[in-house]
A and B are shown apart, each in its own frame.
Chain A
Amino acid sequence: MTDLFRRLLCTKQGAIGVVILLVVTLICVFGPALAPYSPDHMDYLGRFAAPGVRHWLGADQFGRDELSRVLYGARDTVPAALLATLAGTLAGAIVGTLSAYAGGRWDEAIMRTVDAVLAIPGLLLALLIASTLGAGEETALLAIAIAFAPGMARITRSVALAARQEEYVAAAIARGESGTRIVLAEILPNVIAPVIVETTIRVAFAVMLLATLSFLGLGAQPPSSEWGLLVSDGRAYLHDAPWLVLAPGAAIGITAIGFNLLGDGLRDALNPRDER
Chain B
Amino acid sequence: MDKTDIKRTSALGKYYVKGHYGNVGSSNIIFEEIKPLVLFQIAFWPDTVSELETVLNNTLGTKEIPKPGSSISNSNISVLRVEPFKIWVRGVLEESVCNETTPILDLSHSRTNLLISGKDTTNLLNRFLPIDLRENSFGIGAVASTMFHHVGVTLWRTEDGYQLFLPRGFSLSLFELLLQGAEQFGLEIK
**Chain A complexes with chain B:** no
